[in-house]
Amino acid sequence: MTQVKSGDTVRIHYTGTLADGSTFDSSAGRDPLEFAVGSGQIIPGLDAAMPGMTVGDKKTVEVPADQAYGHPDPNAQQAVPRAEIPADIPLEVGTQLQVQTPQGQVMPVTVVELTEEQVVLDANHPLAGKDLTFAIELVEIA
């Protein structure tokens, strides 16, 4: 059987879980995830698990935070005046917003602190600092 090698386009089904066993993402009920192995399209720890697999193979992959979404960057938090947030947007800790950078890029952020005067926004990926586990099944080598 053909084994996956770097540069191959593959399709996988996956379920991603956290250390407490809760699922944070899954392709169940959706089309398989398609990507080119070794291209940087997915997190490094999952990408590195692909070479050598054959169609139909299933495995569980433990991905440490530094091979997933990295560790939280304290510089990715920023306090902004509450008046800069439109009044019609309900705010509470945990609210996720889309903000535009000065360069015009849209970036997801999470409200992590609120006061009367300011809102602290965190641009770290929600899974930064977390070790992840993926149950994967190779569906196709394109």
pLDDT in tens, the chain (142 residues): 899 999 999 999 999 999 999 999 999 999 999 999 999 999 999 999 999 999 999 999 999 999 999 999 999 999 999 998 888 888 999 999 998 888 988 989 999 999 999 999 999 999 999 999 999 999 999 8
Closest residue by Cα to residue 17 from 92, 68, 82, 72: 68
Kindly report whether the global pTM for this prediction surpasses the value 0.75: yes
In terms of DSSP H, where are the helices of the chain?
A: 44-47
Task: Please report the domains of the chain, with CATH numbers, ordered by start residue.
Answer: 9-70+127-141 (3.10.50.40), 74-122 (2.40.10.330)
